[in-house]
Amino acid sequence: MKNILILSFLFVLFQACGQKNKIESKEKVNLKLNEQFGDYWYQGEAELTSYDLEQVRYGEKRKGEAVLIFVTEDFSKSKQVKLNNPKEAGDDAEKVLKLNFTKKFKTGIYPYSIMTSVFSPVYPESDLHARKVSTSVQEWCGHVFMQLNNKGNNYNLLGRSYFESEGDIEIDLDKVWLEDELWTLLRLDPNQIPEGEIQLFPSTQYLRLKHKDLKAYTANVSIIKNDSLNELKIEVAELERELSIFYKKEHPYQIEKWEESYPENGEIMTTTATLKKRNMLDYWNKNSLKDSVYREKLELKF
């Protein structure tokens, strides 16, 4: 009888500890949306922002342009794709803030086209991390692709490349912070940005362009508060790389510019992007010839 009581006590204690761990895990997700979040993000339009870009490539700065496209949409938890019929999806539906981050620039005779897509949960229950990140780079030599899918305890990484040294890969990575997801988390709630020394999977654009090892690196993350713009600063000593994102202090925390520095041909060089124009627009409905006027409003040339 005594043994039974002891076993019963241990079972209850184990259950309580398990419940506590679950609660603590959920408490780590403390995303707090601004009261005006819905007024801005649920008006049926996307935020389109164009930037003058000076992109470092092959030891020289190349003039180009970047566009950040932020929009909320309904996402499938199981398939990790945009839902066609959210009302029919039931519990599989999840609201995400999507970022499509594009760059276009030329190197000599041939052009580069880069795009990263990030899908971050708006109402996470127990996992603050992005559901999916994908990046593709196209230029005349070929194209490369990388995708990270959130599988709960880890990420599934799929990579495709025309380079023999990179080739086709599919591996699992431990769950760490993704640099790409900090761009969307910043727009949701900057207070949730992890500060201090963390393990970070760097920008997928940077990893593809510089052919670095696909792994987590030790990084130092800080938010520097200024009178005008706040600065999200990411430093990765092993890569001699720094990224600074300058954003407005108040909701909706719009991104005004950024700077990225790393070694190029033996010296530290800096890519910069500075604001040109910003519009709210249902761009997916603007696909006729007459709608090219909206490109002029954003001062898009590439």
pLDDT digits (tens, 9 = 90+) for 132-188: 999 999 999 999 999 999 999 999 999 999 998 888 999 999 999 999 999 999 999
Determine the pLDDT at residue 28. 62
Domain count within the chain: 1
Judge whether 101 lies within some domain: yes
Residue 79 lies in a domain: yes
Report pLDDT for 165: 85
Contacts 24+ apart (CB under 8 A), 205-209: 205/101, 205/103, 205/114, 205/116, 205/135, 205/137, 206/241, 206/260, 206/262, 207/146, 208/135, 208/137, 208/144, 208/146, 208/161, 209/57, 209/114, 209/137
Which structural domain range is residue 79 located in? 36-297
Token pair recorded at residue 59: 């030891």
Domain membership flag for residue 19: no
User: pTM for this structure?
Assistant: 0.90
Q: Is residue 10 part of a domain?
A: no
Q: Is residue 138 part of a domain?
A: yes
Q: Is residue 190 part of a domain?
A: yes
**Within-domain flag for 214:** yes
| Residues making up the chain, counted from first to last | 302
CB atoms within 10 A of CB 173: 16
| C-alpha closest to that of 205 among 109, 79, 105, 63 | 105
- Residue 27 domain flag: no
Long-range contacts (CB closer than 8 Å, 24 or more residues apart) made by 18-24: none
pLDDT of 92 strictly over 60: yes
**Distances in Å between the alpha carbon of 54 and those of 64, 225, 244, 255?**
6, 25, 15, 17
